[in-house]
Amino acid sequence: MELKDLVAIITGGGKGIGKAIAEKFFSEGARVAIWDIDFPLAKSVTTSLDSSGKKAIAIKVDVTNETEVALAVSEVISQFNRIDILVNNAGISRHKPIEEMTLEIFESVMKVNLTGTFICCRAVAPIMKKQGRGKIINIASLGGRTGRPGVGVNYAASKAGVIGLTQTLARELGPSGIYANAIAPGPILTEQTKQYPPEVFATWNIGRAIMKDGLPEDVADTAIFLASKRSDWITGVTIDLNGGILIR
Ligand SMILES: NC(=O)c1ccc[n+]([C@@H]2O[C@H](COP(=O)([O-])OP(=O)(O)OC[C@H]3O[C@@H](n4cnc5c(N)ncnc54)[C@H](O)[C@@H]3O)[C@@H](O)[C@H]2O)c1
């Protein structure tokens, strides 16, 4: 068990990649707090993991709302007494060509993906500092690593921002024993991406070296590594996870 008795917060853990991270963390012995703007989704995951509610809790949180995030941190502390791992996974995309991208569409994506990540990091930092240890894992994207067709400039900018935030956070918090790393997945098959026709998903995978599709579990396995002691000499890094679409 790689994460035995550690306490992990997973934002956007109600479905998709976040759900896979929560499930794998739990099976590695972590106690998990699933934060999601969609409470029933989060609750269904925690109920399936631990119906007693002792080792898995669901909290309704909008990561862009400072008050809700602060309250959720207090709830995790009152239930589990510590926070060892924060996975900033909650994210949205709203793609439009540049000429049709309104300021509202641009800013809404920046707000959840980048500002939300900032708000959650800031909320847990004092607790991790007091503990003298913590691991922060930010879910970026291939779209923030390299120009990609069809992701939208708002999404790409937000995820590039997450990578920059992670690097500086690692420098700021490293001396206090807190690690900050990012994962930049390429196309991952989730309920959401499965709604696109297979030929569209295939175009996102052009140039891939490994023929297997990316799955939420692939991201979760990398998150376990970054959350565990096995990565104790790694901080400020973004791990590319894309079957070789981007090799550099
Ligand atoms: N699926 C992919 O191909 C892919 C690729 C690269 C990166 N990513 C990133 O991985 C993360 C998860 O993606 P996914 O495909 O699993 O998404 P998803 O849409 O399946 O799940 C996202 C979850 O986040 C929650 N959420 C949305 N806004 C929120 C908010 N303001 N506060 C709290 N929770 C909120 C949703 O309710 C949902 O449960 C995102 O950051 C996404 O950008 C996904």
Q: Is the CB of 14 under 6 A from ligand 1?
A: yes
CB 68 within 8 A of CB 112: no
155 is catalytic: yes
Closest residue by Cα to atom 32, ligand 1, is: 62
| Ligand 1 atom index nearest CA of 140 | 7
What is the average per-residue pLDDT within 89-93? 97
Give the 3-state DSSP-derived string for 181-234, with helices as H, strands as E and coil as C: EEEEECCECCCCHHHCCHHHHHHHCCCCCCCCCECHHHHHHHHHHHHCHHHCCC
Q: How far is the CA of 92 from the centre of ligand 1 (A)?
A: 5
Q: Is 43 in the pocket of ligand 1 (CB under 6 A)?
A: no
What is the C-alpha separation between 239 and 248, in angstroms, rounded? 12
For 143-174, write each residue's pLDDT tens digit: 999 988 889 999 999 999 999 999 999 999 99
Lowest mean pLDDT among 78-87, 158-167, 195-204, 234-243: 195-204
Domains annotated for the chain, with CATH where assigned, are 7-241 (3.40.50.720)
Q: Is the CB of 141 under 6 A from ligand 1?
A: yes
Q: Which of 80, 106, 155, 204 is catalytic?
A: 155
Q: Write down the pLDDT at residue 150.
A: 85
